[in-house]
Amino acid sequence: MPSQEIYDQARDIQAWIVGLRRQLHRFPELMYEEIKTSQLVRETLDELKIPYRAPIAKTGVLATIGTGKKPCIALRADMDALPIHEEADVDFPSEVDGKMHACGHDCHTAMLLGAAKILKMREGQLPGTVQLLFQPAEEGGGGGKQMCDAGVLEEPPVEKAFGLHVWPLLPTGSVGSCVGTMLAAAGQVQIVVRGKGGHAAMPHYCIDPVTTAAKIVVELQTIISREFDPLNSGVVSVTCFQAGDAYNVIPPTAQLRGTIRALTAERFATLKARVQAVAELVAKANQCEAEVEFPGIDYPPTVNHPEVWQSVRSIAGPLVGEDQVHVMSPIMGGEDFAFYAERVPSCFVGLGVRNEEQGATFGVHHPKFKVDEEALPLGSALHACFAIESLAELSAGTS
């Protein structure tokens, strides 16, 4: 496969890819609100004469390159931003107050459009179909699940799927992933503690939900430290504690919110059950009641298929050098690419974007997050190479 030739093509259109990314960056949109983003994707696909279906999953786009027949592989990019006010030192900051692309989804969308342009040039040589999944609502909205439920993996049936994510822990020019579980199952938890409010000077006439909620926060941590295997651990993080609004009033309720995470679906289910039991029993012991809910959409763990990971390594090695293909350890972040990986053999890959000279060192979801845009053509080239190599292998296997 002419991987270096494809990389050269991607670098030739680097300014085009970066330009798209900066347009997206200036106008970030939250989950299921990606109206301008989706419009830009569709307009670009129209310019490239690539057919597509839209809307899917409210604002998603499914584009098709190739024969329209088997074999078929999928390349995915997420499009949504975060409710974070941008503080990054860039010349093209967010123009929407309180919203920014703090997780790099603007890069993901631009890189997949770059791959689309390269693949369209080679469409006549493709022995099958490439589905380009421009997906909404990765940040908690389960857009990947909605896309799958809408049938994006079915016509023709997708046999492999690939996703890229900018990775600020890796330097520009490198990639990383692993076999098996790469990212955790993740979900939200909300606990409302109900007591009896009253004057803070007379606590004996009250049943204090604040002290009870504080005890629940502490006791939840013992689930991980005393019940979970340290080598197969999990996370319970209480990130929000709300109760009352006066210094001299004990409120009738207190509310806790946070996240729970584990590296397997089984551990995740166990963790949910224990969080609920601990919260309810601690509340009862303190004469309160606890209502425990798990709002939102639970994300399964992101599990990379061994054969697809090996394909990634064999494709990425010649492009970046074998020493720049890193085997990563699992992390407790969640990612809704997991919904695709549950259904078809898949691999999720981290693309290095760290550059200390540029100040591209902050983690995702940080208001100063930025990326080294020199990495973007590599992302487009990797997408294109994943598609071309996979179709060649699948076609040879069925011929």
Give residue 307's pLDDT.
96
Percentage of the chain beyond pLDDT 70 is 99
Domain ranges for the chain, please list them: 3-183+301-398, 185-293
| Confidence tier at 3 by pLDDT (50, 70, 90) | confident
- Candidates 65, 6, 69, 2; CA nearest to 395 is 69
Say how far apart CA 318 and CA 332 lie, in whole Å.
30
Q: Which amino acid is at 208?
A: D
Q: Which residue has the tokens 């604040």?
A: 210
Work out the average pLDDT over 2-9.
92
Q: Which CATH number fits domain 185-293: 1.10.275.10, 3.20.20.80, 3.30.70.360, 3.40.1190.20?
A: 3.30.70.360
Going by C-beta distance under 8 Å and a sequence separation of 6 or more, which residues neighbour residue 159?
Answer: 70, 71, 72, 73, 344, 345, 390, 394
pLDDT score of 397: 75
CA 152/CA 132 separation, integer angstroms: 9
Angle among Cα 399, 1, 175 to the nearest 5 degrees reads 115
pTM of the complete model beyond 0.75: yes
User: Rounded CA gap, 377 and 7, in Å?
Assistant: 7
Cα distances (Å, whole numbers) of residue 264 to 222, 229, 342: 19, 13, 12
Binned at pLDDT 50, 70 and 90, residue 39 comes out as very high
With residue 234 as reference, give the H or E element that holds it.
Answer: strand 234-242
128, 133, 165, 188, 314 from 125: Cα distances, Å: 9, 21, 28, 46, 21
Rounded distance, CA 353 to CA 363, Å? 10
182, 309 Cβ separation under 8 angstroms = no
Q: Give the Cα separation of 150 and 45 in Å (integer).
A: 20
Distance CA 352, CA 167 (A): 5
Asked if the 3-183+301-398 domain carries CATH number 3.40.630.10, the reply is yes
Contact 115, 123 (CB under 8 A): no
Condensed to tens digits (0 to 9), the pLDDT of residues 241-274 reads 999 999 999 999 999 999 999 999 999 999 999 9
Give whole-number Cα distances, 76 to 189, 214, 336, 379, in Å: 28, 42, 11, 12
In tens, the pLDDT along 128-155 reads 999 999 999 999 999 999 999 999 999 9
CB atoms within 10 A of CB 329: 8
**Spatial separation of the C-alpha atoms in residues 189 and 237, rounded to whole Å:** 9
